[in-house]
Amino acid sequence: EVQLQQSGPEVGRPGSSVKISCKASGYTFTDYVMNWVKQSPGQGLEWIGWIDPEYGSTDYAEKFKKKATLTADTSSNTAYIQLSSLTSEDTATYFCARGTIAAMDYWGQGVMVTVSS
């Protein structure tokens, strides 16, 4: 069974960074890209970017290029997103989602990131 298990909620101070994880199981991690999606409180879904775990190659939406860094550890089948220089605009739920030709076919449960001093 394919599962994407994300880490727990995070609280970060303005100006700091947080790193959240997405552990994949039930499939070959390097065979699929991993997307990351942001959902601000009460808002819709925004695509942040994706990473190809096999090669480490990434692609980002323009507005997240200086905000998010995507990495993957093939030894632990885990994808990560690091959010830097946190502001209140970064308070949101962040989802990982496996990417295939059949869209984003499996999603993590989401991680709430709260930016607060």
Partner 1 sequence: DIQMTQSPSSLPASLGERVTISCRASQGISNNLNWYQQKPDGTIKPLIYYTSNLQSGVPSRFSGSGSGTDYSLTISSLEPEDFAMYYCQQDASFPRTFGGGTKLELK
| Residues at the contact surface with partner 1, assessed by CB under 8 A | 35, 44-47, 49, 59-62, 93, 95, 97, 101-107, 109-110
Residue closer to partner 1 by CB (options 27, 110) is 110
Q: How far is the CB of 88 from partner 1 (least distance, A)?
A: 20
Handedness of CA 52, 57, 62, 68 (dihedral sign): positive
Q: How far is the CB of 45 from partner 1 (least distance, A)?
A: 4
Q: How far is the CB of 117 from partner 1 (least distance, A)?
A: 26
Residue closer to partner 1 by CB (options 103, 117) is 103
Task: Tokens for 22, please give them.
Answer: 């997405």
Residue closer to partner 1 by CB (options 71, 110) is 110
Q: How far is the CB of 38 from partner 1 (least distance, A)?
A: 10
**What stretch of H or E contains 105?**
strand 103-107
Residues in the chain: 117
How far is the C-alpha of 71 from the C-alpha of 45, rounded, in Å? 21
How far is the C-alpha of 106 from the C-alpha of 104, rounded, in Å? 6
Angle at alpha carbon of residue 16, lines to 92 and 20, rounded to 5°: 50
